[in-house]
Amino acid sequence: MPVMESVIGLEIHAQLKTATKLFCSCPTSVGSEPNSHICEVCSGQPGALPRLNAKAVELAAWTGLALGSKINNFSIFSRKNYFYPDLPNGFQISQLTPPICEGGGFTLPESENKFIRLNRIHLEDDAGKCIHDKQRGLTLVDLNRAGTPLIEIVTEPDFRSPAEVVEFLKKLHTILVHLKVTEGRLEEGEFRCDINISLRPKGSEDLGIRSEIKNLNSFRHVSQAIKYEVIRQERQYERSEPIIQETRLFDPVRQETRALRSKEEAHDYRYFPQPDLPSVPVSPATLARLKSELPCLPEETTMVLLSLGLTREQVAIIQNRRGAIEYFEAAKSFFDEPKQLATLMLELLLPAALREDIYPLETKCTPKLLAVLAKLITDNTLSRRAAYNLFPEIFEHGTDPKELAELRGVLQVSDAGAIKALAVDLIKAHPNEAKKYCNGQEKILSFFVGRLMQQSQGAANPKLAGEILVRLLKSQPK
Ligand code: ADP
Ligand code: MG
Ligand code: ZN
């Protein structure tokens, strides 16, 4: 048998972050009573007319812009006909040709910068859910999810290994969540993918017959499913048994894929233009506005944060914690010392928020309060150690750092007059040590600084104290 290589293409579904459904004004929220968020449109009543959600169109176009796709100013919706109990219309409203976005792609840094091409991005609505009640022997239908807006991102069959697929999916997920196009909660199925796999003799350009593994929403399962499926197909070839074009499901418990149904071709769905909806307009003016509103991509943000003087480690932590970037930017708008802020975030705020299991912006230590704390340290008004001691109280009660420092009496005295008075008394009280200093024993300075800090109960600014002491000691009569 020739050496075979695996050829993999992905279809990723992401639930768009809109308040309402794609073609009606029912809310998209999850966790409500079954069938409480439905209307005549999303429950497929005869004669009900869909109206397109403009926000969903913008989010799809934004995704395309971020991923380098061409955005079509004209695309249409089509009916994709099939029968299933959770599909009340008897068809899904999707896009065939033209879709809203075509082409695009991005590179995978950990896979030798391989470029993965996108085929298309299109809009479609989600189906409802069947709930199988085994006890009563019933299957119930919940249409709350029916009509929820999705984008489907289809890649070219450019992947050759599970590692490439997982790197791609993680990067795509990061980008979409960063753009706020989707919440991306994997466990809720808000980001899920179908994997198409075939084998072919290495060196061949033809595509083999593929199977499709449906609806994976865990990166680990994606990798396991591909490994299993590649071995299964290899065995088929070894035994000269045909690969059947079919849809399969991955069973994570048994670590295997199982046939679900034979795979349909596009023509089986009898696609035809949905007559109840106009074409999807994205005018040049809208496109220009969307471009201007596009936030920096994670890679650009990385560059910006690095250029502010943050270390790679700091950047990675801030980028990977949800809501940390927003917090950082807000704090920076109050006090523009990125390094100081990043340090406080990494050492104090993020660990504390993690312990409480809340987002940074939800803590009582607002970006403004952290900025005040950072400024006190930078100005030498508060020692770093004192600041760290105050932090738990600020975090718990949202207390103003400056007021708290005053209350606790830990503000550093940067009042040169007060420090000088202490220094003069000290030198008078320790004439022998002062003499030693004048005779060249400069190390004795730390003795004086230590005493001065003690007498000020730690409040004196040590740097200033040192400077004043040196000046006084040097100007002593010999
Ligand atoms: P469908 O929507 O019917 O599943 P498409 O032709 O749109 O099919 O392809 C879906 C995905 O399957 C794409 O990512 C494509 O790259 C991939 N694909 C198509 N043919 C093959 C093949 N023979 N082997 C591996 N992947 C394939
Ligand atoms: Mg498919
Ligand atoms: Zn509705």
The pLDDT tens digits for 48-93 are: 999 999 999 999 999 999 999 999 999 999 999 999 999 999 999 9
Asked if residue 198 has its Cβ within 6 Å of ligand 1, the reply is: yes
Question: Which ligand is the nearest neighbour of the Cα of 214?
Answer: 2
CB 226 within 8 A of CB 165: yes
Q: How far apart are CA 167 and CA 115, in angstroms?
A: 12
For the CA of 158, the nearest atom of ligand 1: 16
Mutate to test the pocket of ligand 1, among 196, 206, 262 (most ligand atoms within 8 A of CB): 196
Question: Which ligand is the nearest neighbour of the Cα of 44?
Answer: 3
In the reported structure, the alpha carbon of residue 93 is separated from the centroid of ligand 3 by a whole-number distance in angstroms of 14
For the CA of 198, the nearest atom of ligand 1: 24
Asked if residue 451 has its Cβ within 6 Å of ligand 1, the reply is: no
Asked if residue 156 has its Cβ within 6 Å of ligand 1, the reply is: yes
Q: How far apart are the first and last CA of the chain?
A: 98
Nearest CA to ligand 1 atom 7: 154
Dihedral angle sign, alpha carbons of residues 154, 160, 166, 168: negative
Report the pLDDT value the prediction gives residue 217, as an integer from 0 to 100: 95
Asked if residue 99 has its Cβ within 6 Å of ligand 1, the reply is: no
Report the pLDDT value the prediction gives residue 312, as an integer from 0 to 100: 84
For the CA of 7, the nearest atom of ligand 1: 25
Domain residue ranges of the chain, discontinuous segments joined by +: 4-284, 296-408, 416-474
Q: How many CB atoms lie within 10 A of CB 231?
A: 11
Nearest CA to ligand 1 atom 2: 266
- Percent of the chain surpassing pLDDT 90: 74
Q: How far apart are CA 294 and CA 112, in angstroms?
A: 28
Asked if residue 6 has its Cβ within 6 Å of ligand 1, the reply is: no
Residue 386's alpha-carbon distances to 303, 344, 410, 452, in angstroms, are: 33, 13, 7, 17
CB 228 within 8 A of CB 205: no
In the reported structure, the alpha carbon of residue 151 is separated from the centroid of ligand 2 by a whole-number distance in angstroms of 14
Q: State which residues of the chain have pLDDT below 70.
A: 478
pTM of the model: 0.73
416-474 CATH, one of 2.20.25.190, 3.40.50.620, 1.10.10.410, 1.10.10.10: 1.10.10.410
For the CA of 266, the nearest atom of ligand 1: 3
According to DSSP, the residues that pair with 212 across neighbouring strands are: 196, 247
Give which of 183, 149, 173, 176 is closest to 66, Cα–Cα: 176
Question: Which ligand is the nearest neighbour of the Cα of 22?
Answer: 3
